């Protein structure tokens, strides 16, 4: 294998910019997805089946269809409705956020339901409203149990952000494809991109494991 370091050096600044955008897209997706996922998860847990039904449909829709299809629909159909044209970065953030929200909603639901129901009843008996009990009693305990699956979702989101290259968002994989198209080389762009993704995911896994150990010892 003839590895050409000169073209790799040429594209190094672009890979750096692409990596920063990949991190930004992933952070935006997980932050927005977490907020949406919390409300969707709570919505699905409502006892009124009529009210909880739309939340269940949302989760089923985004978990049951490929993200590739989702990002194409959002890029070419949804985003133009609001800004009058396509925008790869906006489509990527919206898709990652909506997709992750469906998975995070189930993580929240499972985490909340893992807490003994007696704690909610005890909090209510002390005069707390259901919202106060959820905020101060249930969610803090459930959050510790949700860290591993939330971390896994963040790792998955980093890797799936590579689909943004298909809608011309200049993230990491976009520059890998650009390099491959310019020089008709395969090893240099894709091995470099793979290694950068590996560093990102391993670094995040390390941070999350440290956070999990710290919270479990408190």
Q: In this predicted structure, what is the pLDDT of residue 115?
A: 84
Q: Is the pLDDT of residue 29 over 80?
A: yes
| Rounded Cα distance, 175 and 7, in Å | 12
pLDDT tens digit sequence for 44-63: 998 898 999 999 999 999 99
Task: Considering the domain delimited by 22-217, tell me its CATH architecture.
Answer: Orthogonal Bundle (1.10)
Domain boundaries, the chain: 22-217
CA distances in angstroms from 115 to 48, 81, 128, 152, 208, listed in the order given: 21, 42, 17, 21, 22
Tell me the CA end-to-end span of the chain in Å, nearest whole number: 51
pLDDT tens digit sequence for 171-206: 999 999 999 999 999 999 999 999 999 999 999 999
pLDDT tens digit sequence for 130-187: 888 888 888 888 888 888 899 899 999 999 999 999 999 999 999 999 999 999 999 9
Per residue, the 3-state secondary structure of 23-51, as one string, reads HHHHHHHHHHHHHHHHHHHHHHCCCCHHH
DSSP assignment, residue 162? G
- Residue 197 · residue 188 · CB < 8 Å: no
- Residue 159 · residue 201 · CB < 8 Å: yes
Q: In this predicted structure, what is the pLDDT of residue 112?
A: 87
Question: Helices 5-44 and 49-64, interaxial angle, to 10°?
Answer: 160
């Amino acid at each position: 294998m003839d590895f050409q370091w000169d073209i790799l050096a040429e594209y190094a600044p672009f890979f750096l910019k692409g990596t920063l955008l990949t991190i930004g897209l992933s952070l935006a997706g997980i932050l927005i997805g977490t907020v949406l996922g919390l409300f969707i998860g709570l919505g699905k847990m409502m006892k009124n089946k009529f009210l909880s039904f739309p939340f269940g449909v949302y989760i089923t829709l985004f978990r049951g269809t490929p993200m590739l299809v989702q990002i194409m629909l959002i890029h070419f159909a949804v985003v133009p409705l609001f800004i009058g044209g396509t925008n790869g970065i906006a489509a990527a953030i919206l898709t990652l956020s909506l997709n992750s929200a469906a998975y995070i909603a189930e993580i929240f639901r499972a985490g909340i339901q893992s807490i003994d129901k007696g704690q909610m009843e005890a909090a209510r008996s002390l005069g707390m409203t259901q919202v106060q009990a959820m905020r101060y009693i249930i969610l803090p305990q459930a959050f510790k149990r949700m860290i591993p699956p939330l971390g896994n979702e963040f790792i998955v989101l980093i890797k799936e952000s590579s689909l943004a290259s298909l809608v011309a968002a200049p993230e990491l994989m976009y520059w890998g494809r650009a390099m491959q198209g310019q020089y008709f080389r395969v090893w240099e762009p894709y091995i470099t991109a793979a290694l950068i993704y590996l560093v990102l995911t391993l670094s995040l896994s390390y941070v999350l494991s440290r956070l999990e150990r710290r919270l479990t010892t408190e």
